[in-house]
Structure 1
Amino acid sequence: MRPKVTRAALLREFGAPLELAEVPLPDELPPGSAIVRVRTTTLCGTDAHLWQGAMPFVALPIVLGHEMVGEIVALGPYAGQDALGAPVEIGSRVVWSESVCGHCHGCAVLREPVLCANRGYGFSQRADRWPFVIGGLSEYAYLPPGAHRVVVADDMPDTWAASAGCAVKTVVRAFANAGGVDPGATVVVQGSGPLGLVATALARAGGAGQVITLGGPSGRLRMATAFGADTIIDVTAVTDSDERVAMVEELTGARGADLVIDVAGGPTVNREGVLMCAQRGTHVVVGLAGPGAAAVPMDVVMSRELRVVGSLNGDVGDLVRALRLLTGLADRFAWDALFSDPVGLADADSALKDMATMAAVKAVVDPRMEIS
């Protein structure tokens, strides 16, 4: 018998402790939908920002978490296949993309699900309204019809599969939007969080001749070196943005970088990224600049014939490629180093704090840990 309620960690007030509570699950399952038992949720920096109140327009209460893997416990009609045509049945272990509507301009005309006007992130779903829970800090979650799911290979760790749902697929899409890495190219990665570390690894695996990673703190930068960075720049030590630009200029023989990927965000990051680009270079914007962003020098964009490319998260295709990337590069990069030891729902607060303070690269919550 499928569950009617689920235990979840609710965010009722920004900055306040999460509240463990029982939340309803949908009584009926529409065609294409499912209920999953969440096995693992890996936290994203966005989860910490939401918790801290950096996105006050989000309506509360909500269940945080949008990187998760789970087992199917109930299926609606016509929900028996994944995005690749593999069978989905009770007990199948799956990951899934954010739900998309299929009929807006982004979906139907542009054929870009990532641009869906009605895209269903976990933090867009109030926990006091139907369908209540699509976030990962919950024992069970509703999988909407438009959330394309992928059956996970038996030998893939839960943490890897969960992180593919946002962090890894976002990086995969960013490199695809950039046009990939030319052999021997110089790549600058702005950021040493989860996305920055994966981007560093992908740049190295993609054939870059030189990889420069900027970020902090020092522990993450040491990991960036292990993931393929030739040079690291600690932004907590080199606090002047112009000095960071000068360092990249020196490291590249005054030519600049062929590809600069912003996976950090911050007021000066895009200005720096453009100034770090070589002639005909590409700057990919993934991070949010936030308020008070420094002006991007458009004269430099023009005179160097730069490409400035936006890249937003990823769709189910990027998710599939992310899973393949993790498996294909498992012998080159220690993916497990990204993840902290798992905690249960009762300790989700501490996991969020670890993300907010950068004590963890990817905090992990296993909602099954406190279930007897």
Structure 2
Amino acid sequence: MKTLVLQNPGSLELTTTTPPTAPGPTEALVRVHRIGVCGTDIHAFNGKQPFFSYPRILGHELGVEVIAVGDEVTQVAVGDRCAVEPYLNCGHCIACRRGKPNCCASLSVLGVHVDGGQREFIVVPAAKLHRSSELSYEQLALVETLGIGAHAVDRAELAAGETVAVLGAGPIGLSVIQFALAAGARVLVIDINDTRLAFCRERLGLPAADLIDARTGDVADQLRALTEGDLPTAVFDATGNSRSMMNAFTYPAPGGRIVFVGLFPGEVTFDDPNFHRRELTLLASRNARPEDFGRIIGLIEAGRVDTKPWITHRAELSAVPSLFADWTKPESGVLKAMIEVPA
């Protein structure tokens, strides 16, 4: 079967691999139809992804079709269209026992710790499939990205009427924005990319006054001006940039919280007196929970989450090696690239 393999940083090759065998009793064999490209894939391509080794088959944002199921599988059937929950957890560690499989002590993520879905077929645990009879494969491939934002907003326990700031308007930041708005918050967006700020204005309907270009002045001062001196009560950093993450400690209001959604492979430091004086809360947000997938599918089916603006670039699997390096460049204008796998 056709497979994309990231041999080393910067070296993505189309090759042929052996198709998977029949699924085990609790597994499903699926045909991959759509694969979303995310920041994790780009970091891996650039050699900046932690917890990573080469060679690796990328791909964890998947829209798939069930081809065969094991004898004990009841939750999906042949022909079902599904989103894939790519987090392979153990089920018995303290995190799993407490309902936090997204941060399992021995978590493996498809396309990161183990080979993912940039290929024609893959076998996955059937319990990790979330079906929909209404959504397209492209929509299903976006569910995992949206789940990252949904979980981050849940971590912050936002209340209606809060003013929050989102640093970084890439796909993860946009997913945070989507669910912060759904929670009834006013959202201020900070970025250095004109295209992404324009997207927030033109496609998400955010007021131009609530969009901050971090290149044009002190961000904290601009936040104070927009909040009548109060500052936001929650700040989400979706950049994965150490400087941005460290600056985030200056942006919340007293008693506020910071949620690190983006991941940086190194140390992040902060001024402790400033942190203590304002009694800030620092939260990490990792992946999403199983219930997020079903909730998001329901929201898309009901028309409450619009996925149409998200996909800016498309290509078939065989064309991706010649395009991927350009997709990693900010000037390419890629918001979300979608890989199509011809049947």
Give CA-to-partner distance per residue, 1:267-296, whole Å, 9 cap, x none: 122332221111211211111234464x22
Q: Which residue of 1 aligns with 2:157?
A: 179
Runs of 4+ in 1 over 6 A off after TM superposition: none
1:198 to 175, 187, 192: 175
The structural deviation recorded for 1:60 is 2.2
Q: Is the 8 A contact 1:34 1:76 kept in 2?
A: yes
Distance 2:236 2:298 in 1: 21
Structure 2 regions of 5+ residues with no counterpart?
none
Give the TM-score, by structure 1 length: 0.84
Q: Which residue of 1 aligns with 2:337?
A: 363
Give CA-to-partner distance per residue, 1:78-133, whole Å, 9 cap, x none: 1221xxxxxx111111112122221223213x33101112323123455xxxxxxx
Give CA-to-partner distance per residue, 1:320-355, whole Å, 9 cap, x none: 22223334454xx65211103421111223553344
The structural deviation recorded for 1:64 is 0.7
Distance 1:161 1:216 in 2: 30
* Correspondence 1:131-142 to 2 at 5 A: 134-142=115-123
Q: Secondary structure at the match of 2:146?
A: helix
User: Which stretch shows the higher mean deviation, 357-366 or 339-348?
Assistant: 339-348
The structural deviation recorded for 1:138 is 0.7
The structural deviation recorded for 1:77 is 2.1
Matched, 1:232 2:184: no
Q: Secondary structure at the match of 1:256?
A: coil
Matched, 1:61 2:50: no
Q: Secondary structure at the match of 1:123?
A: coil
Residues 325 and 344 of structure 1, relative CA distance in 2, 3 Å threshold? same
Q: Which residue of 2 aligns with 1:282?
A: 257
Q: Which residue of 2 aligns with 1:212?
A: 188
1:122 to 110, 132, 137: 110
* Correspondence 1:5-154 to 2 at 5 A: 6-16=1-11, 18-55=12-49, 58-81=52-75, 88-97=76-85, 98-108=87-97, 110-124=98-112, 134-144=115-125, 148-154=128-134
Residues 58 and 216 of structure 1, relative CA distance in 2, 3 Å threshold? same
Alignment length, in residue pairs?
A: 337
Structure 1 regions of 5+ residues with no counterpart?
1-5, 82-87, 127-133
CA-atom RMSD in angstroms: 2.1
Give the TM-score, by structure 2 length: 0.91
Residues 222 and 334 of structure 1, relative CA distance in 2, 3 Å threshold? farther
Q: Which amino acid aligns with 2:196?
A: R
Distance 1:366 1:125 in 2: 23
Taking only the aligned residue pairs, the percentage that are identical comes to 27
Q: Is the 8 A contact 1:200 1:224 kept in 2?
A: no
Q: Which residue of 1 aligns with 2:314?
A: 342
Q: Is the 8 A contact 2:20 2:122 kept in 1?
A: no
Residues 229 and 301 of structure 1, relative CA distance in 2, 3 Å threshold? farther
Q: Which amino acid aligns with 1:323?
A: I
Q: Which amino acid aligns with 1:35?
A: L
Distance 1:125 1:8 in 2: 17
1:315 to 282, 289, 292: 289
